[in-house]
Structure 1
Amino acid sequence: MIAIDKTTSIKSALIWVIMLICSLTLCLAMVVSATQDVKLQRKKLVAQLEGYVSIIAFNAKSSILQDDADIEDNRLNSFNAVDMLHNIHIYKKLTPGDELSFFASYNRDGVGPYPVQFERVQQLLKPYISANYIELTKAITHDKEVLGYVYLRASQEELSAYIQTRILLDIIIALVALGSAFFISVRLQQRFTSPIDTLLNVVQKVAKEKNYQVRAPIAPIKEYNMLSRAFNTMLDRIEQQISKLQQAEQENRQLTLSLEQKIEQRTEALKASNQELLNTLSTLHQYQNQIVETEKMASLGQMVAGVAHEVNTPIGLGVTASTLLQDKLADIQKAFDEKKLTSSQLAKFLSESKENLGIIYRNMERAASLISSFKRVAVDQSNENRRQFNMLQLINEVLLSLRPNLKKTQHQVLINCPAELELDSKPGPINQILINLIMNSLIHAFEHIEQGEITIDVSVSDNHCQLVYRDNGAGVPETIKKRIFDPFVTTKRGEGGSGLGLHLVYNLVTQALNGKIVLDSTLGQGVRFQIDFPVIVIKN
């Protein structure tokens, strides 16, 4: 129910609406008109100044050719009649070279000289408009040869005065228009609200005196007249209903006595039902909050998986490569300082530096790409970053980025992939999947094995790529084999393992690549991941 002190009067609303429409229309019209007028006046002022500077450049040509600065000073003094021109400089070009020298000038009385603008000559070939001044230059040419430049600095005081006058005139017009609108709105308000006041008095009289024989008068407005007739018809029906109600009232009294007892019984039953419903609703709210928190934690776990596991790998590789490069640089610096640096050492250093810098660049670029793509994966399961690529080259790039990790071990990686296999798919997720699987083998599978073997088999059939990844490591225990792709499942709980690596691999295969992944493993006999996802085979 709306509070009385918060209701709106039709009288005030009508006036406010009319005044608001008029005000907005006037303001918009004045702003647009004033803006266009100011732009036009400023354009005319710039055109006038360009005419002045062209005349000055034409006249100054002969003075520069005759090297007579006095004549040019006398000519420039003739511009004393133009109030907006404050400073005029003529610069002469020295030969040979492009240096400029001061030739002649004009400074308006009361303004004083202005510093030379040798450095801004080229910039001011296009007029520069500041808050109070307009500056421009023009080249003085003779037979297509630049003899010098004319610099002109003019005031915008006349334009500012014009703008102020224009604004004052617009305000006066707006006030007159708003006054007229207010007068018209008051007249309209009186015409439209007078019938409502009459009808309101009739309604109040009927409500206060319970006199249903009163009728609303005819209104001069068609819609209000229809409302009056409808109100009178309602009063007629009320009179008829009152007589019927008086007859039914006696019958209701008798029924009331019998219903009171039933109502008391139903009331007690309703109280018990309401209490049960409240308890059920409270339980539902608790379950709902638990579900929301579970969803939040699931999203947070997936985000932590992407950032902590994916970004850390390329950044760590970049740091490793940069550290190795720093060590090699220290060796070269030492050999150079001791004057023992040979060409073979330098060539080897350059080759290794190029390789390490490539590793740093690719991994930093991959880290940036992973962060940007990770946000898209969280919003949309499909990754639109498709392109054509060579599958064998992609695998080799992954192994190259992981070389610092592989060089520390005696493990071997065998690749069985056609060299000419060109695919149209999403190389980013494939790259991440291979890195995670290889790092998972290095950290978990080969923890107690000195010389392990990783095999990557790639084949294509019916526009589907089958990627089989195998290692001869420790394998997966039966206790976690069925839950291996669930988040936080790890055999190194408390030793730094997060249990999110294979969960991320599963999400990349099923969501980003729209494929499927199957694990086959026996404890002590390694693992076999079979990944199948749709691709477009590029036929050369």
Structure 2
Amino acid sequence: MIGLDKTSSIKSALIWIIMLVCSLTLSAAVLLSTMQDIKLQQQKLFAELDSYLNILSSNARDSLLSNDSSLEEQRLNSFSAVNMIHNLHVYKWQPATEQFDFFASYNHREVGPHPVQFSRLTQLHKPYVSDNHIELSKPLMQGTDLLGYVYMRVSRKEQSAYIQNRIVTDIIIIVIALSLAFFIAQALQKKFTAPLHQLLSLMQRVAKDKDYQLRATAAPLHEYNLLSRAFNTMLDRIEQQLLKRQEAEQEIRLLNQQLEHKITERTKALKASNQELLDTLAKLHQYQSQIVQTEKMSSLGQMVAGVAHEVNTPIGLGVTASTLMQDKLQEIQKSFDDKNLTASQLAKFLLDSKENLGIIYRNLDRAASLISSFKQVAVDQSNDNRRQFNMLQLINEVLLSLRPNLKKTQHIINVDCPANLNIDSKPGPINQIFINLIMNSLIHAFEQQEQGEITIQVQYVQQNCLIRYCDNGTGVPENIKKRIFDPFVTTKRGAGGSGLGMHLVYNLVTQALHGKIQLESTLGQGIEILIEFPVIDTSNTNKT
């Protein structure tokens, strides 16, 4: 909106526009006319000086050939009738010395002598105009031979006086023309603004008294009549709108009463629906938590089955070796009782016993390692407490617990983790994350591959643990990639897939570890998962 201090009246605007247009056009016309006249006068002056210079050259050539300087002085004095000529010089060229000699001169009686211009003669072929004088020269030739130079110095006093008179005349003309324009503008603005003032007064009355029955009268201006008709039409429509508004207000009062009654009823119904929705949502969260917990226990159960199968092998070998030793011991005991035990039998028994004990020890130690690793992983999975642990050791324990699933395949797992990276965090969620990611690759990514490759990279950067998990499997379809962390999203629908694996990973990263996860994948080129969560580095090495 334009501020009142920035507005202007039509009266002042009309006067200023007329004055501005007149002053600009008049000034431009006078300026162009003056410049053209001054230029024309200067051209006439140069032409006149050139004719004088031609006369001087013709006379001076004869004087130089006859070497009669007194005659030339008399000829130069004849220019005393021309007041604007102040100085005339004639110079003679001396071929022997290749220099000019002063030959003759004329000096106006009010000016006096002017210094010789030996060095400037060749530079004044075109008129040189200074503030007060015009200087020019012309060579005197005899065929191709240079006889000398004629130099002329002319006053610009008459030309300056003419220019001043012309400027004064132009200023007077401009002032007279602008005065006339001002009086004309005053007369025009009265004719144009008087009807507008009448219309403005009518508008103020309508605004003050709210009397919309008033109407604007006609005026001798066509545009004003159009504005008056438009204003009268506006008043008619306002009257009609006021009547309609009164009727509408009455209808609105009735509708408001009905609406208030309906809103009261709908509010009661909405409160009941909201309470029912809250109850349903609470049950849904409870069911979802139960399903997620079931998924965690399901993965733990699969691990138990795999470890049990893996432990059976060394225990079976140990049982076989111990049974064999028991049979050998009974044979030795019988030979000893029958007193026919030989040294060779005893030596063979001792050798077999040593081998069997070695087999029993190695397999029991292997079973103990598997059980210890599984126990640590199981404890971590069921415990969300923080503790200090070695990251590489935790990854190796997870891989050892998944060995029954991995040894059936030819897949390769590459681990890039600093051996001395000790951190303070929650190993349980990290265990579960690695197990779910690896099992997800085995089940989904490498379904069509005999030998896949998994890469796990771990770094510690600025109080954060960065995990980069990659595989070169089939990748994730575009229609699933954006929903990969939503619950019940799976490509194995109807084939045993629950769709909760990646949802569980997302919850573990964002809620249990307070971190963030990002997945990038192209169909047919595998996946790349970036996980970042805050930890405390308890190792003594320099941080990355």
TM-score (norm. length: structure 1)? 0.46
Bigger Rg, which one: 2
